[in-house]
Structure 1
Amino acid sequence: MSTVSKDSLKTSLLQLECHFTWALLKKHVSLEALEETILDHIKFLVGYEIRDYNMLSYVNHLKNSNEEALENLKKAEEAIQKRHPDEIARRSLTTWGNYAWIYYHMQRYEEAQTYVSKVENSCKKLSSTADGKIQLPEIYAEQGWALLRFGRNYFERAKNCFEKAMKSEPDNPDFNAGYATAMYRLEGDAQRYGGEVRSCLDALKQAVELNPKDTTIAALFALELQRLCRGNEGERYIEEGLQKTPDFPVFLRHAANFYRKKGEVNKAVEILKKALALTPKSVVLHHQLGLCYKFKALQLKKTRHSPQEEMANLVQLAIFHFKTAIDKKPVFFNAYRDLAITYAIGKRYEEAEEIFQKVLQRNDVDCDEKQDIYFNYAHFQQFHMKSESKAIKYYIEGLKIETNSYSRKKCSEAVETLLKQKIESGLGDATNIGTLGLIHNLNGKKQEAIECYEKAIALDPNNEEYLNALAELQLSISS
């Protein structure tokens, strides 16, 4: 194929609506873990094979297994013929787009061109516009589900995709389920890391009403009701789900989460073990089990005479499950944090330190997650290692990241409390007062910062750091 036609082929490929043009970046996922999730989905959930095989083919490609990718696209085609025999062209556009891209990457340009042409010709037939452009709601939905699979950086885009799909079909159960799931994930993120909290309750309620058989969406609705202190209402949906789909791992995971949050940790463990027996490689299930054992260890620690053997056993179980989750998904940063905290609970401080350092040295952690890790590391230094100076240092590291998250707020509150206690107890030396000035400055409280720096300079008149900081603050207020 000549360079010119190869370039024009690339231009045509970029016009296609498929996984290769949706900017799904492999740095945000663990390909092994994602592949396992999709295979489990295919095994346990009937009716979504087209979407799952398309997604799987893209994951195969990212793992440099293009032959396997082609096999999965064949399976997607078979599912289209079985489920939509009257709409084969319309339902195949994403699959054909993926075919074209995979053949292009295999340098089989003639075949890539064949699939590009198939998409273009089908779009012209299906489109009512002169340029043959087509915007199908099911393609927006497929993009939305793909984005959800790639994690928290994609939730907002996923929500927008489902909104576009619902413009054409407002009562489509699948589109509503996707929209409600995206809203639930966004709200969870806002709760955890700060940001605008948008209620997802109405979206979940609507999705449950449109498809009462979908126990996954019912479980998310139950968890949202629980968050709003309406747990008794929510539990009804969980109990119904346990009757309807007792062997569906995705539902069981949410049910276990519900009972763990309710405080019925033994029941949560029982459900998670059942789910793990069905999908032994599930990263999320291992993490959830780790959380349960960590919780049980903490509860035991609070009793006056906690039995050492039982305590060590619970800590070891939690460590095993967190380590498994990290091994399978190296970008699962919350699991690193939970593992380090568990080591600290078990007084295994060197191992806790090692894990904290390992995750803090990574440069692929999102800002709000990094703030969360700094907060937990500072907390570890303050309460386990009894090092107030290191705690202060790392609370400040969390504060220096400007993302306005819940963890940043926690860093700010913790370090202010610590410094004020030291100052009020008569340890108000220039360093502590100057550091409090820095905290106020990082939080945009300029007047309070100026007052602190003035007090610090009165105690340490030649300190250049305080003099410079004060001069800069006074200049910023006067300008």
Structure 2
Amino acid sequence: MSTISKNSLKSSLLQLECHFTWTLLKQDVDLDNIEATTGDQLEFFIKSNITNYNLLSYICHLKNSNEEALRNLQQAEEVVKKDYPDEIARRSLVTWGNYAWIYYHMERYEEAQTYVSKVENSYKKLSSTAQWKIQLPEIYAEQGWALLKFGRKYYKRAKNCFENALKNEPNNPEFNAGYAIAMYRLEQFSHKQCEDVNLSLKPLKRAVELNPEDTIIMALLALKLQDLNQVDEGERYIEKAMEKTPDLPYFLRYAAKFYRKREEADKALEILKKALAVTPKSSFLHHQVGLCYRAKLFQLKKTTRYPPQKQVEELIRLSIFHFKTATDQKTNFFSAYVDLANMYAEGKRYKEAEETFQKAFQINILCYDDKQQFYYHYGNFQRFHMKSESEAIRYYIEALKIEKDSIGRNKCRNALEKLLEQRISGGLGDATDFGTLGLVHNLNGEKHKAIECYEKAVALCPDNDEYLRALCELQLSISS
């Protein structure tokens, strides 16, 4: 193929709406995990199978299995013929776009061009304007589902896609479900303690109204109601959904979470074991099981003055086993790594705890709040297990240096404040402690308290440029 026509082919490929043009980056996900979970969803007919086959074809390509990618696209075509015999072209646009890209990467340029032409011709037939590329709601929705699969970095874009799909079809149950899930997940990572953490309630209720058979959405609504202290109403949704799909693992995982959060760890475990029997490789389920055993351990320690050592050891062992399985199944599962490291520390396996903390921090897709969360847990590990207050202080400060608000950052700030005040009131405080406490007060916007601390730090260490500069800046900011 000539360079000119190869370049024009590439330019046409970039115009297509499909997984290859949606900026879904392989470094942001665990490909094996997505492949496994998407395969499970195909088995249980969750959402549209066309969507899942198209996504799988892209995942296979990212794993250098182009032949397998083509087989998934063939499956997508079969589903279109069966489910949408009157809308084959409209429903195949993403599939054909993926075909074109895969053939391009296989250097089968003529076949790639054939699929590009199929897409362009179909758009022209579907469009009432001279412009061949029209925005179809189902393509927005398919992009939304793919973005949700690629993790939290993509949730905002997913929400926007479903919003665009809903502009054309506001009563479409699938689009409403996607929008509700995107909103719910965005809220899980929102740290603002204001009304915007309740924005998913209305979309979840709307999605359940439009499709009362979607038990996954019902379970998410139940969890949302639980967050808002409407536990009884939440449980009614869980019980109703349990009657409809008692064996669906994707529903059971959320039902179990509901009962664990209600401190019914045994009931949650019973549900999780049922789900694991169906999808034994689910990292999410193993993590949830680990959290249940951890909850039982903490409950035992809280309610029993001298908890039986054998029981404690067994609960630690079970927690470790399931957290470890979760991280083996999904290699970038940050919270599972942190939970595993903490549980190793609980079992006095400090070397393994240290190694696991380091693995958690080396995950390449950590957001700022993950890092702050890491510094909090690792600071606690240094303080309570390694008995090093100076190291704990160092890591708490690392979290504060990331000047974005989060739950982890607030925890570090509170821990640091308490620890420094203890040291100072116990007569152990030195210039560094006063200087650090000054920094904490300053970050809290408590300028007068910060000045007091820096004055004490300077009195103990008169030549320290850092304390003198901070004190000077604070005094100027108050007087100006």
TM range (shorter): over 0.9
| Counterpart-to-counterpart distance in 1, 2:191 and 2:219 | 18
Within a 5 Å distance, the mapping from 1:157-236 to structure 2 comes to 157-191=157-191, 197-236=197-236
* DSSP-derived class of the 1:435 partner: helix
Contact 1:457 1:467 in 2 (8 A): yes
Within a 5 Å distance, the mapping from 1:26-41 to structure 2 comes to 26-41=26-41
1:462 maps to: 463
Within a 5 Å distance, the mapping from 1:147-158 to structure 2 comes to 147-158=147-158
Contact 2:327 2:336 in 1 (8 A): yes
| Counterpart-to-counterpart distance in 1, 2:399 and 2:356 | 17
**Deviation of the 1:471 alpha carbon:** 4.3
Q: Which amino acid aligns with 1:407?
A: G
Contact 1:192 1:406 in 2 (8 A): no
Q: Which amino acid aligns with 1:7?
A: N
| Counterpart-to-counterpart distance in 2, 1:434 and 1:172 | 58
| Counterpart-to-counterpart distance in 1, 2:85 and 2:425 | 77
2:424 maps to: 423
Query: After superposition, what is the alpha-carbon deviation per residue over 1:28-65, rounded to whole angstroms, capped at 9, x for unaligned?
Result: 11111110100100101266211110011011011110
Within a 5 Å distance, the mapping from 1:236-255 to structure 2 comes to 236-255=236-255
Change (3 A) 1:315 1:46: closer
1:320 maps to: 321
Range with greater deviation from structure 2 (46-55 or 83-92)? 46-55
| Counterpart-to-counterpart distance in 1, 2:153 and 2:364 | 16
Change (3 A) 1:46 1:37: closer
Within a 5 Å distance, the mapping from 1:210-359 to structure 2 comes to 210-302=210-302, 303-359=304-360
| Counterpart-to-counterpart distance in 2, 1:366 and 1:21 | 24
Q: Which amino acid aligns with 1:237?
A: Y
1:72 maps to: 72
Change (3 A) 1:428 1:47: closer
1:95 equivalent in alignment to 2:95: yes
Change (3 A) 1:8 1:154: same
1:146 maps to: 146
| Counterpart-to-counterpart distance in 2, 1:219 and 1:13 | 40
**Deviation of the 1:194 alpha carbon:** 10
Range with greater deviation from structure 2 (425-434 or 217-226)? 425-434
TM-score (ref. length: structure 1): 0.96
1:22 equivalent in alignment to 2:17: no
**Deviation of the 1:383 alpha carbon:** 2.7
| Counterpart-to-counterpart distance in 2, 1:430 and 1:87 | 74
Range with greater deviation from structure 2 (92-101 or 345-354)? 345-354
Contact 1:296 1:314 in 2 (8 A): yes
Contact 1:26 1:62 in 2 (8 A): yes
| Counterpart-to-counterpart distance in 1, 2:207 and 2:256 | 21
Contact 1:100 1:113 in 2 (8 A): yes
Q: Which amino acid aligns with 2:273?
A: K
2:2 maps to: 2
2:129 maps to: 129
Query: After superposition, what is the alpha-carbon deviation per residue over 1:154-202, rounded to whole angstroms, capped at 9, x for unaligned?
Result: 1111111111111111110000000000011011111599995352111
**Deviation of the 1:448 alpha carbon:** 3.8
**Deviation of the 1:298 alpha carbon:** 1.6
Query: After superposition, what is the alpha-carbon deviation per residue over 1:236-275, rounded to whole angstroms, capped at 9, x for unaligned?
Result: 1111211111111000101111111111111111111111
Contact 1:318 1:342 in 2 (8 A): yes
Contact 2:19 2:55 in 1 (8 A): yes
Contact 1:367 1:401 in 2 (8 A): yes
Change (3 A) 1:387 1:78: same
| Counterpart-to-counterpart distance in 2, 1:155 and 1:361 | 23
**Deviation of the 1:464 alpha carbon:** 3.0
Within a 5 Å distance, the mapping from 1:390-405 to structure 2 comes to 390-405=391-406
Q: What runs of 5+ residues in structure 1 fail to find an aligned partner? A: none
| Counterpart-to-counterpart distance in 1, 2:293 and 2:173 | 37
Change (3 A) 1:453 1:47: closer
2:452 maps to: 451
Q: What runs of 5+ residues in structure 2 fail to find an aligned partner? A: none
Q: Which amino acid aligns with 1:301?
A: K
Query: After superposition, what is the alpha-carbon deviation per residue over 1:392-448, rounded to whole angstroms, capped at 9, x for unaligned?
Result: 111111111122212111111111121122223333322211111222344455554
> What's the Cα RMSD here?
1.9
**Deviation of the 1:357 alpha carbon:** 2.6
Q: Which amino acid aligns with 2:373?
A: D
| Counterpart-to-counterpart distance in 2, 1:192 and 1:311 | 37
Within a 5 Å distance, the mapping from 1:42-57 to structure 2 comes to 42-45=42-45, 48-57=48-57
Within a 5 Å distance, the mapping from 1:400-415 to structure 2 comes to 400-415=401-416
1:108 equivalent in alignment to 2:113: no
Higher relative contact order (CA 8 A, sep 6+): 1
Contact 1:298 1:345 in 2 (8 A): no
Q: Which amino acid aligns with 1:395?
A: Y
Q: Which amino acid aligns with 2:231?
A: G
Contact 2:77 2:92 in 1 (8 A): yes
* DSSP-derived class of the 2:135 partner: coil
Contact 2:345 2:353 in 1 (8 A): yes
**Deviation of the 1:316 alpha carbon:** 1.0
Range with greater deviation from structure 2 (415-424 or 225-234)? 415-424
